């Protein structure tokens, strides 16, 4: 590992992220933990000696709180509101908290639970279900139940053998009690179901990187989805470690740190802890380690279970092979987001298959779906996906995928341009794969597609030219009218300039001629009349 982050000693030891120890632990003794920026580690924690069956033990198993907690007021209020309904009817109250790895799900739950622990007179139970643990298999419900039963006072030798019997005994012991159950890091709803109480009075909070839709649909669970920090929240976290004065002294460097961490609490915490440990090192030096996307993961990788790569890998390894390949390929384009149609072309699959893969990635919080059938990566996840693609896929596979994306944008922009201005000359394009092209039946449909896709089309043009793909210049040409129609003249000029460069490199004289005319159009709109005349004359020579 290179860069200043990699050279500094002791970072791994300092960034312990507040993970409770495996086995028994005393939450009061861990008050000096630095931060809890991701899942709490450890299995079922048992306080006190096991009593005999039927003894009234009050377990207090919550892990320690963290030193610095940035207020998640909305989510905490939602949990408190749910708590007020505990025992009001005969239903078990369940809340699921899902979100991206490192977004602070476990931190939120533990912090809130400590604030409200007086509401649970009969205690609280905590278990890390190891749903996304790189070093161990997910915990089976029977194992979690055995830990809960002994924590509630049952002698180990009295614990029933089967999972069903343990679950029944667990429900019996919880009947009439007011307790909190924290089921941390769940793999799926099936892992959680046997652990639910059978009567009201208890509140169950489940964290997971997956959306647990089954619990919402069949058990009425309240779903909370954690997002990344806002810029102000990220600055607040940095200031907690570094002080507001240090941030104010280097405002540009502080802004760069916030930008490169993209609001991910885990990344911000790793940076903050490192900066706090090196008070004489300028923040700009730390920001420099993060500026290059290729080196960013190195700068945030402290090794072990708490580095960015390790945390992301737990979610990645849970994917099906098809979704894992889709994840890697989505890291290749330079566009800020992608449609399902473009993703289908990138992967070389049809729409039904790509939608299933995109849905799997969305459920795992490795991809975010936005309005208008658009999908977007967190910046650090994009870097991780691209790195995995360069590790796991051959250069030919990567190039072929990007070529399919280029062809999709070329053929579909061509179809949109034909619908938007049928009389305009466009080159004849031959293609054999219908999955690469979308047809439009109305003017409005073509225009709506262009409005949603034009930013990605421009990114594809520039990337294709940079990679020496010969059809990149032709995409720039067929995109000229839609850019002009929507008044995107700056984008038109960028597109034509990039396309012309590619056409010159490849020696494609027809493309050069067309793009010189297109560039002259952009010059005219910018009132660059001399440049417009020059480009028109250069085009005329090539047409001659």
pLDDT, tens digit, 9 for 90 and up, residues 130-160? 888 765 688 899 999 999 999 999 998 899 9
| Angstrom distance (rounded) from CA 375 to CA 241 | 34
Domain identity same for 208 and 295: no
Query: What is the pLDDT, as a whole number, of residue 294?
Result: 66
Query: What is the pLDDT, as a whole number, of residue 190?
Result: 94
| DSSP 8-state class, residue 65 | P
Backbone angles phi, psi at 224, to 5 degrees: -120, 130
Count H helices, E strands: the chain? 26, 8
What percent of the chain is predicted at pLDDT more than 70?
84
Lowest mean pLDDT among 91-100, 343-352, 456-465: 91-100
Domain identity same for 303 and 409: no
Lowest mean pLDDT among 198-202, 270-274, 351-355, 427-431: 427-431
> Among 170, 197, 226, where does a domain finish?
226
Query: What is the pLDDT, as a whole number, of residue 54?
Result: 47
Q: Which residues touch 279 (CB under 8 Å, ≥6 apart)?
A: 246
Query: What is the pLDDT, as a whole number, of residue 383?
Result: 86
> Among 166, 197, 226, where does a domain finish?
226
Domain identity same for 460 and 356: no
Query: What is the pLDDT, as a whole number, of residue 46?
Result: 40
> 């990567």: which residue's tokens?
398
Domain total for the chain?
4
Is the predicted pLDDT of residue 508 greater than 90, yes or no?
yes
Do the domain assignments include residue 6? no
Lowest mean pLDDT among 126-130, 193-197, 315-319, 459-463: 315-319
Query: What is the pLDDT, as a whole number, of residue 303?
Result: 58
Domain identity same for 338 and 303: no
Domain identity same for 237 and 273: yes
Lowest mean pLDDT among 95-99, 234-238, 362-366, 406-410: 362-366
pLDDT in tens, 267-288: 888 888 778 888 888 999 888 8
CB 224 within 8 Å of CB 206: no
Backbone angles phi, psi at 185, to 5 degrees: 60, 50
Do the domain assignments include residue 122? yes
Can you name the residues that pair with 98 across neighbouring β-strands? 208, 225
Do the domain assignments include residue 105? yes
Is the predicted pLDDT of residue 33 greater than 50, yes or no?
no
Do the domain assignments include residue 4? no
Burial category of 217 from C-beta neighbours within 10 Å (exposed 0-12, middle 13-18, buried 19 and up): exposed
Domain identity same for 148 and 290: no
Compute the average pLDDT of residues 451-463. Answer: 95
CB 95 within 8 Å of CB 203: yes
Domain identity same for 431 and 380: no
Expressed in percent and rounded to 5, the helix, strand and coil fractions of the chain are 55, 5, 35
Mean pLDDT of the chain: 84
Query: What is the pLDDT, as a whole number, of residue 298?
Result: 75
Query: What is the pLDDT, as a whole number, of residue 525?
Result: 93
What DSSP line would sit under 79-131, residue for residue? HHHHHHTTTSSSSPEEEEEEESTTS-HHHHHHHHHHHHGGG-TT-EEEEE--T
| DSSP 8-state class, residue 167 | H
Query: What is the pLDDT, as a whole number, of residue 14?
Result: 32
Position with higher pLDDT, 100 vs 333:
333
Lowest mean pLDDT among 19-23, 190-194, 474-478, 483-487: 19-23
- pLDDT confidence band for 306 (50 / 70 / 90): low
Query: What is the pLDDT, as a whole number, of residue 435?
Result: 63
Position with higher pLDDT, 200 vs 445:
445
Domain identity same for 64 and 105: yes
| Angstrom distance (rounded) from CA 260 to CA 219 | 39
Compute the average pLDDT of residues 77-95. Answer: 76
Query: What is the pLDDT, as a whole number, of residue 325?
Result: 98
Range of the domain at 89: 11-226
Is the predicted pLDDT of residue 210 greater than 50, yes or no?
yes
Lowest mean pLDDT among 135-139, 164-168, 322-326, 377-381: 135-139
Query: What is the pLDDT, as a whole number, of residue 499?
Result: 98
Do the domain assignments include residue 340? yes
Q: What is the CA radius of gyration of the chain?
A: 28
- pLDDT confidence band for 51 (50 / 70 / 90): very low
Domain identity same for 137 and 79: yes
Is the predicted pLDDT of residue 466 greater than 70, yes or no?
yes
What is the CATH classification number for the domain harbouring 341?
Answer: 1.10.10.10
What does each C-alpha distance from 413 to 89, 420, 425, 458, 468 come to in angstroms?
57, 10, 14, 11, 20
Query: What is the pLDDT, as a whole number, of residue 275?
Result: 85
Compute the average pLDDT of residues 103-113. Answer: 90
Query: What is the pLDDT, as a whole number, of residue 134?
Result: 62
Q: Which pair of tokens denotes residue 168?
A: 């029944």
Of the candidates 168, 221, 176, the residue with the CA atom closest to the CA atom of residue 195: 168
Position with higher pLDDT, 449 vs 79:
449
- pLDDT confidence band for 347 (50 / 70 / 90): very high
> Among 368, 393, 418, where does a domain finish?
393
Range among 61-70, 81-90, 133-142, 247-256 with highest mean pLDDT value: 247-256
Do the domain assignments include residue 2? no
What does each C-alpha distance from 73 to 70, 76, 106, 183, 228 come to in angstroms?
9, 5, 15, 21, 14
Do the domain assignments include residue 249? yes
Query: What is the pLDDT, as a whole number, of residue 18?
Result: 37
Query: What is the pLDDT, as a whole number, of residue 261?
Result: 86
Domain identity same for 338 and 452: no
Domain identity same for 467 and 507: yes
What percent of the chain is predicted at pLDDT more than 90?
53
Do the domain assignments include residue 463? yes
Compute the average pLDDT of residues 16-39. Answer: 35
Give the HSE-up count for residue 7: Cα atoms under 13 Å, Cβ half-sphere: 8
Domain identity same for 337 and 407: no
Position with higher pLDDT, 430 vs 346:
346
- pLDDT confidence band for 524 (50 / 70 / 90): very high
């Amino acid at each position: 590992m290179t860069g200043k982050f990699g050279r500094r000693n002791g970072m791994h030891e300092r960034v312990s992220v507040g993970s409770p120890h495996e086995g028994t632990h005393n939450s009061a003794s861990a008050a000096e933990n630095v931060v809890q920026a991701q899942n709490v580690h450890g299995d079922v924690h048992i306080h006190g000696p096991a009593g005999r069956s039927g003894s009234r033990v009050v377990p207090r198993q919550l892990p320690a709180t963290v030193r610095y907690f940035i207020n998640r007021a909305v989510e905490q209020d939602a949990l408190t509101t749910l708590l007020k309904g505990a025992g009001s009817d005969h239903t078990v109250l369940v809340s699921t908290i899902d979100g991206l790895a490192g977004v602070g799900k476990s931190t939120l739950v533990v912090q809130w639970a400590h604030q409200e622990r007086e509401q649970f007179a009969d205690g609280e139970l905590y278990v890390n279900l190891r749903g996304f643990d790189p070093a161990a298999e997910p915990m089976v419900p029977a194992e979690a139940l055995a830990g809960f039963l002994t924590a509630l006072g049952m002698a180990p030798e009295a614990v029933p053998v089967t999972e069903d019997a343990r679950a029944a005994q667990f429900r019996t012991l919880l009947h009439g009690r007011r307790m909190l159950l924290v089921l941390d890091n769940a793999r799926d709803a099936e892992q959680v179901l046997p652990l639910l109480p059978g009567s009201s009075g208890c509140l169950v909070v489940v964290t997971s990187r997956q959306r647990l839709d089954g619990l919402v649909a069949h058990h009425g669970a309240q779903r909370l989805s954690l997002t990344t920090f806002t810029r102000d929240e990220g600055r607040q976290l940095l200031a907690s470690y570094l002080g507001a004065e240090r941030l104010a002294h280097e405002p540009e460097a502080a802004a760069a740190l916030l930008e490169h961490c993209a609001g991910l609490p885990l990344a911000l915490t790793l940076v903050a802890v490192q900066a706090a440990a090196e008070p004489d090192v300028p923040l700009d030096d730390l920001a420099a380690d993060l500026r290059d996307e290729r080196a960013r993961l190195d700068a945030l990788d402290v090794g072990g279970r708490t580095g960015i790569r390790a945390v992301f890998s737990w979610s990645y390894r849970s994917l099906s092979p098809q979704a894992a390949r889709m994840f890697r390929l989505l890291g290749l384009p330079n566009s800020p987001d992608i449609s399902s149609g473009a993703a289908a072309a990138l992967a070389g699959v049809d729409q039904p298959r790509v939608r299933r893969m995109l849905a799997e990635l969305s459920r795992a919080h490795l991809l975010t779906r936005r309005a208008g059938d658009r999908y977007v990566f967190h910046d650090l996840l994009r870097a991780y996906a691209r790195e995995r693609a360069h590790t796991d896929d051959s250069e030919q596979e990567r190039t072929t995928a990007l070529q399919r994306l280029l062809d999709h944008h070329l053929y579909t922009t061509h179809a949109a341009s034909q619908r938007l201005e049928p009389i305009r000359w466009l080159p004849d394009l031959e293609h054999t794969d219908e999955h690469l092209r979308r047809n439009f039946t109305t003017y409005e449909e073509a225009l709506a597609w262009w409005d949603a896709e034009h930013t990605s089309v421009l990114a594809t043009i520039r990337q294709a030219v940079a990679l020496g793909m010969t059809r990149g210049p032709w995409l720039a040409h067929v995109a000229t009218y839609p850019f002009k129609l929507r008044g995107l003249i700056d984008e038109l000029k960028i597109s034509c300039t990039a396309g012309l460069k590619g056409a010159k490199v490849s020696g494609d004289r027809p493309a050069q001629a067309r793009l010189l005319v297109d560039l002259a159009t952009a010059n005219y709109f910018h009132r660059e009349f001399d440049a417009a005349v020059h480009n028109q004359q250069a085009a005329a020579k090539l047409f001659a």
